Structure 1
Amino acid sequence: MAIPRYISFVAFTLGTYDMVRGVAHTIFAGYAATHLAGVDLKGPAGRDLLVLMVAFGASNLVTACALIYLALTDRAGSLVLLILIPIAYLAAHIGLQMHEIGLTGQGVFPGQFNMTVYLTICVVSATSGLLSVWRQMRSAVHFGRSR
């Protein structure tokens, strides 16, 4: 089963992007929260918001390292991670929908468009990679039957 090479390229590229996001959400968390997301950190929940943002940034750094490592060493692992990332964000979306009833937000979150593109790239790449593997397996079965 040969997974297409572009899967590694996509994983490496997204890993690099996640590294930038991780740095922005950890090292530059205060700036990103106040100047980019428009979140008020001076309010009573300011430190809590910052802790959540830094934790998110740390998970970005872990995802970045995993994507880059797998892109360089294991194409199948890259494909698995490209499948798991949208599933994880879907779980987060479901959790948010379940618990945000009656809550209002103050943030702008300018990265939402970038995340939509990121997740679309994951879904399209993973789907096309899986279809490629499926086609290869199917043709191998048909080839075996024709003998």
Structure 2
Amino acid sequence: MIALNEYIAALNQHRQRLLPCTAPPEFSADLLYGAALFNRYLDQRDTLSHDPNNGYAELCGTLYNARSRAPRDLAQYILKQLQASPAHEAIQTDPDLRVAAVSATTKAFVVRLSSTPVPHNAQEYTRYRCLP
């Protein structure tokens, strides 16, 4: 999953084109952990529904039309899919959201962005790890 964080490099390049002085996004293992748990939850529930009040920006989408599973190709696919939605594009290019991680499965991806490092969330682990 860490290889999927090619998205962070792609996002940085995209942001630099739009706002050249923007600080690059940073990878967060804690955000990755939560994104991976939530990605698993979405796969099991076969939904993209998520809580908009969870304390960080969360962007979800499907991978049904992804042509390649190579990390760099997936990163570009995710970036372009989110660019297609003005609301998602505004979130992913927000320079205040400097901490990022992305998770992907065969069905979906989850991008999490935050303005500050987010500590490991034990409640999230409890909520998503024990799925029927």
Same fold (TM over 0.5): no
Q: Where is the helix percentage greater, Structure 1 or Structure 2?
A: 1
Point out the structure with max Rg over C-alpha. Answer: 1
| Highest RCO, 1 vs 2 (Cα 8 Å, sep ≥ 6) | 2
Question: Which TM-score applies when normalising by structure 2?
Answer: 0.28
Question: Which TM-score applies when normalising by structure 1?
Answer: 0.26
Q: Where is the strand percentage greater, Structure 1 or Structure 2?
A: 2
